Amino acid sequence: MKEQLTVVKVGGKIVETPSTLEQLLTDFSALPGRKVLVHGGGRTATDLAARMGVETRMVGGRRVTDADMLRIVTMVYGGLVNKNVVAGLQARGVNALGLTGADMDVIRSHRREVGEVDYGFVGDVDRVDGDRLARLVADGVVPVMAPLTHDGRGTLLNTNADTIAGETAKALAARFDVTLVYCFEHAGVLADPDDEGSVIPRITRQSFAALAADGTVSGGMLPKIENSLRAVEAGVARVVITRADAIGQPGGTVIE
Amino acid sequence: MKEQLTVVKVGGKIVETPSTLEQLLTDFSALPGRKVLVHGGGRTATDLAARMGVETRMVGGRRVTDADMLRIVTMVYGGLVNKNVVAGLQARGVNALGLTGADMDVIRSHRREVGEVDYGFVGDVDRVDGDRLARLVADGVVPVMAPLTHDGRGTLLNTNADTIAGETAKALAARFDVTLVYCFEHAGVLADPDDEGSVIPRITRQSFAALAADGTVSGGMLPKIENSLRAVEAGVARVVITRADAIGQPGGTVIE
């Protein structure tokens, strides 16, 4: 039987608010077994950009990353957010190591081709070095991954944190029994968006088709669940969509 | 015989100017054997502070680090400078890993006591985890260390890069034949400050006493050489003071 490993992805909102960050660090530290944390940091990047007079442009929820914005996200994601999370976990006895994709070449990507939109210095992941990450994890290290990768030619690339979490989970699935947890503002995928009690406890490829067809699941949740199902099909044991303050607890939506 | 390892410390000026950074990355990549890079980043921190309306206050060449300045140096040292150096080394086939002292708890420090000056969030090093660094190095990894440490209670601390380089060299001296290279604006320690050709080729504890007594060496060079001699007395094989564009070449001042 493979050893259990949990990959937790938290958005910027959680790690950028002192009270929710403290809670997250405590909850994450208490998670049993091997683990990896992937974080965002978009709000702080937007705030810093404003203070520096750099305009933030979002298209379809994605940040357009020109050279100035790349400097900002490198500072915020790779520096401010990542190192404070690492120091906070160390204070709780978790042997955290902050990583971007460039560090030990753990995640290589290529700059997204220009289509209708030129997203600038945004990376699409080519490969995650599961061997290297597995060796670190086996050595008791807890990787804390910032949403930055590199192209292998010296350029850092802003990369979606959900994608990093998903690709990392897949790359570790051969060696570990991987649970991928996406933290979210709701208690799970809701059957009724106005009712926090209407969490759908389990979604499979089969049930997803029905939920999508009858409109129970729609909008931004469709690609999130589709990506989760693909992660499961690629060997991840299960994906859990839950609230950040409920990681490690039963509940949420389990996709398997 | 112990394997050779070189710890190179470069100041902010070198890593913050694109042309000298390129040269450094190329020269450092060409260095044979095991290696570690320690960098500064003060100018960029000062520039960013100015753009954010945060005042930079230096006392005796040291940065006073209040909460705002700590955020800035965390972004600049731990993010912008560190990750660009890492990506640049990866592009040259060097398996770089960016580290602050918080990452894997490699350097623990305590906040400097308030004396005549309150330096704020500035750390004095307590210990470097030589075992952990040696394991990484033996695995082919090249640590790239930012001048930030942590107190083990969740707080990052701004820490002098020369000190980090010296303490790291000492911590690795039991396992490796360590050469510590301090890059400098001159070709070495000069007997005549106006003559670049007057490099003193070798300084020992004995010759240093004479050089200090007759005033050949004075000012800021005194503590630099004293610290180098202490590193040698603590097991570092030799300390070289040279220009950044001369690392790996014969020359400079060798302290042993």
CA distance B175 to chain A (A): 20
* Chain A residues closer than 8 Å to B155 by CB: 87
| Residues within 8 A of A (CB atoms), B 156-195 only | 156
∠A20-A26-A32 over CA atoms, to 5°? 135
Q: Is B152 on the interface with A (CB under 8 A)?
A: yes
Residue A34 is predicted with a pLDDT of 98
The alpha carbon of residue B183 and the mean position of all alpha carbons in its chain are separated, in whole angstroms, by: 9
Residue B219 is predicted with a pLDDT of 85
**What percent of chain B stands above pLDDT 90?**
86
CB atoms within 10 A of CB B43: 16
Under the phi-then-psi rule, with left for phi > 0, alpha for psi from -120 to 50, and beta for the rest, what region is B140? left
Complex-level ipTM: 0.96
What pLDDT band is residue A11 in, cutting at 50, 70 and 90?
Answer: confident
Domain ranges (residues) in chain A: 3-255
What are B59-93's pLDDT values in tens digits? 988 899 999 999 999 999 999 999 999 999 999 99
Cβ separation B153–A91 shorter than 8 A: yes
pLDDT top residue among B201 and A61: B201
Task: State the DSSP H helix or E strand holding residue A9, giving kind and residue range, or none if neither.
Answer: strand A3-10
Alpha carbons within 13 A on the beta-carbon side of A65: 24
| Residues within 8 A of B (CB atoms), A 36-55 only | 48, 51-53
Under the phi-then-psi rule, with left for phi > 0, alpha for psi from -120 to 50, and beta for the rest, what region is B58? beta
CA distance A140 to chain B (A): 10
Name the closest residue on chain B to residue A152, using Cα atoms. Answer: B91
Q: Is A104 on the interface with B (CB under 8 A)?
A: yes
Cβ separation B75–A76 shorter than 8 A: yes
Cβ separation B155–A90 shorter than 8 A: no
- Residue labelled with tokens 């909102």: A13
Could you please report the per-residue DSSP string of A143-187? EEE-SEEE-SSS-EEE--HHHHHHHHHHHHTTTEEEEEEEEESSS
Beta bridge partners of A174: none
Beta bridge partners of B7: B36, B180
Q: Is A97 on the interface with B (CB under 8 A)?
A: yes
What are A130-186's pLDDT values in tens digits? 999 999 999 999 999 999 999 999 999 999 999 999 999 999 999 999 999 999 888
What are B180-221's pLDDT values in tens digits? 999 988 899 999 989 999 999 999 999 999 999 999 998 888
Residue A17 is predicted with a pLDDT of 86
User: Mean pLDDT across the stretch A20-48?
Assistant: 95
CA distance A141 to chain B (A): 7
What pLDDT band is residue A61 in, cutting at 50, 70 and 90?
Answer: confident
Residue A202 clears pLDDT 80, i.e. is over it = yes
Interface test with B, best of A15, A47, A90 (most B CBs within 10 A): A90
Q: Is B148 on the interface with A (CB under 8 A)?
A: yes
Are the C-beta atoms of A243 and A186 separated by less than 8 Å? yes
CA distance A178 to chain B (A): 23
What pLDDT band is residue A248 in, cutting at 50, 70 and 90?
Answer: confident
What pLDDT band is residue A96 in, cutting at 50, 70 and 90?
Answer: very high
Task: Take residue B8 and report the two structure tokens written for it.
Answer: 């190179």
Of B82, B90, B95, the CB nearest to A150: B90
Cβ separation A96–B104 shorter than 8 A: yes
User: Mean pLDDT across the stretch B90-109?
Assistant: 98
What pLDDT band is residue A13 in, cutting at 50, 70 and 90?
Answer: confident
* Chain A residues closer than 8 Å to B142 by CB: none
Q: How far apart are CA A35 and CA A103, in angstroms?
A: 18
Cβ separation B91–A51 shorter than 8 A: no
Interface test with B, best of A83, A85, A95, A145 (most B CBs within 10 A): A83
Query: The whole model's pTM is what?
Result: 0.96
Of B80, B103, B150, the CB nearest to A79: B80
Cβ separation B86–A75 shorter than 8 A: no
CA distance B29 to chain A (A): 13
The alpha carbon of residue A75 and the mean position of all alpha carbons in its chain are separated, in whole angstroms, by: 18
Residue B12 clears pLDDT 80, i.e. is over it = no
Task: Take residue B198 and report the two structure tokens written for it.
Answer: 């007057």
CA distance A134 to chain B (A): 14
Give residues with Cβ within 8 angstroms of A61, minimum separation 6.
Answer: A220
The architecture CATH gives domain B3-255: 3-Layer(aba) Sandwich (3.40)
Using CB atoms within 10 A of its CB, is residue B143 exposed (0-12), middle (13-18) or buried (19+)? buried
Task: Take residue A201 and report the two structure tokens written for it.
Answer: 């406890």
Residues in chain A: 256
Task: Take residue A187 and report the two structure tokens written for it.
Answer: 């208690």
Cβ separation B141–A91 shorter than 8 A: no
CA distance B221 to chain A (A): 32
What are B23-33's pLDDT values in tens digits? 999 999 999 99
User: Mean pLDDT across the stretch A215-233?
Assistant: 91
Residue B238 is predicted with a pLDDT of 97
Residue A233 clears pLDDT 90, i.e. is over it = yes
Residue A223 clears pLDDT 90, i.e. is over it = no
CA distance B132 to chain A (A): 10
Cβ separation A83–B52 shorter than 8 A: no
Q: How far apart are CA A122 and CA A143, in angstroms?
A: 22
Give residues with Cβ within 8 angstroms of B178, minimum separation 6.
Answer: B5, B6, B7, B169, B172, B235, B236, B237
* Chain B residues closer than 8 Å to A88 by CB: 154
Pairs across A and B, CB distance < 8 A: 120
Cβ separation A76–B77 shorter than 8 A: no
